[in-house]
Structures are given as structure tokens and as C-alpha cells.
Amino acid sequence: MTDTTESKSRIKLLGITDQPLDVAAHEAAAAHPAAGAVVVFQGTVRNHDQGRGVEKLDYEGHSDALRILREVAAEIAADPDVLALAVSHRIGPMEIGDVAIVAAVATAHRREAFTLCARLVDEAKARLPIWKRQLFDDGTDEWVNCP
């Protein structure tokens, strides 16, 4: 799908930040009077990964991350079912329970909202040059999604 002015206007909030993410602000940004559904996803830091205890994470982002997030958001926003969307990813050190990514998508119907929000998150996770360093409770660490 193309990146049109109309699709760009559907992107209400977008960012890469080292500050805590405001889930309610993303939901509010995606609100639309024609929406019958607004699906919000928040990805949080969990205390385990593949059977190992995780103490905390550190996300590092490439300088192109914001540009790529804009591209991903524009592709999703170009879908005619999207009325509005908001998406942000956090970088820097994070504790268990912190929000690492928020995505919100408004559509007229719930099925499309769920599908498009999942697609937004999946594409962001697949394409963003943001790498995760997991610090385990045994003192070891591991980089994830790192080239």
C-alpha cells in the first residue's frame, strides 16, 4: 500500500522514546467518532524468557528506528479500514512490568481492529532496528533481535 497524505493523517501519535509510555494517551489518540472498535496493545517486560528468570531489559535503538516506525505506521494506516492509529516503542533500561511498546488502532468493526493492531505490532517488531539486552537472574545476559 502507498504512503498517502490521507494515511499519514490517520497516524495520531508515534514515537521512539526513553521515557515511560502512556497507554491511555495512545488509546485517546486513536479515538475516532466513526470507530466501533479501538484495540490497544501494550507489550510489557516479563520476568522470564524460555525458562530463565529475567531481572531487567535494556533496549537500544538505531538512529533509523523512528523513520522505520513511521514507514510501518504509514503502511498500516493506508488500509482503508483504519480510522486512526498510535504507536510508540521505548528504548533504554526497563524494569519488570514496564511498557516497551504500545499500539492502538481504531476501525469501524472489532475484527479489523484486532487484525490491524496485531499487524502493526508484528511489523514493528520485525522491522524496527531496536535490540533487546536481557539481564538474567543468574548474572548472565543475552542480546535478542540483534544483527
Collapsing DSSP to helix, strand or coil, 70 comes out as helix
Q: What is the pLDDT of residues 28-53, one digit of tens each?
A: 999 999 999 999 999 999 999 999 99
Least confident stretch, 4-8, 23-27, 47-51, 77-81: 4-8
Q: What's the residue count for the chain?
A: 147
Q: Which domains does the chain have, with CATH numbers?
A: 5-139 (3.90.1170.40)
Closest CA to 100 of 92, 110, 108: 92
What is the pLDDT confidence band of residue 95, given thresholds at 50, 70 and 90?
A: very high
Question: Nine-digit cell at 98?
Answer: 514496564
pTM across the whole model: 0.93
What is the mean predicted confidence (pLDDT) over 6-29? 95
